[in-house]
Amino acid sequence: MLIMSKIVEFYRNLNKKKRITFWVCVGIIFLTIVRVSVWSARKDKTPTTKTFIKQLKSQNKNEKIYGIYNVGNLKIKEALPELEELYQKESDEEIKRVCAWSIGQIDFNKLLTYLDSSDKKTKEITFETILKIDKKNINYLIDRFDKEDIETKFKILDYISSSEYQDKLLKIVENEKEEIPVRKKAIDILKEKAKFEDVETYLWALYYREQNDEMKNYVYHVINEMKKRSQK
């Protein structure tokens, strides 16, 4: 009460100009207090690691996706078990794709294990996500080419359709245990991308030792096609 009386007395002793200055100062102090209060309130609401992990269980799809994305973006390792469970059980394809991306961000080797999934959709999304993270990851898929199903092999071949992978393509073509359509696809890529002088000797050697008549005739056809093109 005494302090208030002194403030009133102080104010009454001010002239008009100083009273205006007084109220301006009071206004600035008030606005500063308001801004600090708003900032503190916003700071308290800043999402935390626990917030994002909790959102993984949300019934709201957008909130769940937001949580899945952020645990991956922030590489929150403790979220990995729940992410994997979601990836395996979730039927929503959009959610599964974000799960795959986040798993890859946290533990890329863990994502690679899903290439062996018995679930076709999970394997397909894993394949696409691995390449989405980095197209150079095609090398991981090439290394396991022999153990893949025919559908996946065709997808891999779609990504290695360049002369950069010439040696790998030649190995696929010469592998007599490989499916004929896969071998034909590989040699078609060579026909379009490789220089005839670089593969001519190899293709003729393949032609003479090939046991399968269908493949033997196809190799001969490719040799003639490449030879004609090189003479133009």
* 132 and 59 assigned to the same domain: yes
Residue 67 has pLDDT above 60, yes or no: yes
* 76 and 118 assigned to the same domain: yes
Query: CB 21: neighbour CB atoms within 10 A?
Result: 11
What's the distance, CA 177 to chain centroid? 33
Q: Per the domain annotation, does 16 fall within a domain?
A: no
CA dist 26 → 22, 35, 55 (Å): 6, 14, 44
Q: Per the domain annotation, does 144 fall within a domain?
A: no
Q: What is the CATH number of the domain that holds 61?
A: 1.25.10.10
* 83 and 131 assigned to the same domain: yes
* 117 and 60 assigned to the same domain: yes
Q: Per the domain annotation, does 192 fall within a domain?
A: yes
* 126 and 166 assigned to the same domain: no
Q: Per the domain annotation, does 5 fall within a domain?
A: no
* 105 and 53 assigned to the same domain: yes
* 132 and 186 assigned to the same domain: no
Residue 11 has pLDDT above 70, yes or no: no
Q: Is the dihedral of CA 205, 206, 211, 213 positive or negative?
A: negative
58 close to 64: Cβ distance less than 8 angstroms: yes
* 53 and 132 assigned to the same domain: yes
For residue range 207-221, what is the model confidence (pLDDT) as tens digits? 999 999 999 999 999
- Report pTM: 0.72
* 61 and 132 assigned to the same domain: yes
Q: Per the domain annotation, does 17 fall within a domain?
A: no
Choose the final residue of a domain: 71, 105, 136: 136
Distance CA 55, CA 76 (A): 13
Per-residue pLDDT band at 36 (split at 50, 70, 90):
very low
Q: Please name which of 176, 229, 173, 182 lies closest in space to residue 202, comparing C-alpha atoms.
A: 173
Say what the pLDDT of residue 43 is.
45
- Which residue range is the domain that position 131 belongs to? 49-136
DSSP 80-138: HHHHHHHHHH---HHHHHHHHHHHHHH-HHHHHHGGG-S-HHHHHHHHHHHHHH-GGGH
What's the distance, CA 182 to chain centroid? 27
* 107 and 168 assigned to the same domain: no
Q: Per the domain annotation, does 197 fall within a domain?
A: yes
* 176 and 227 assigned to the same domain: yes
Residue 39 has pLDDT above 90, yes or no: no
141 close to 127: Cβ distance less than 8 angstroms: yes
* 65 and 110 assigned to the same domain: yes
Residue 98 has pLDDT above 80, yes or no: yes
Say what the pLDDT of residue 20 is.
59
Pull the structure tokens for residue 167: 């040696």
Which has more confidence, 3 or 114? 114
Q: Per the domain annotation, does 59 fall within a domain?
A: yes
For residue range 140-179, what is the model confidence (pLDDT) as tens digits? 999 999 999 999 999 999 988 777 899 999 999 999 999 9
Q: Per the domain annotation, does 213 fall within a domain?
A: yes
Give phi and psi for 179, each to the nearest 5. -60, 140
Domain count, the chain: 2
User: Which residues, in sequence order, are CB contacts of 160 under 8 Å at separation 6+?
Assistant: 138, 142, 168, 169, 189
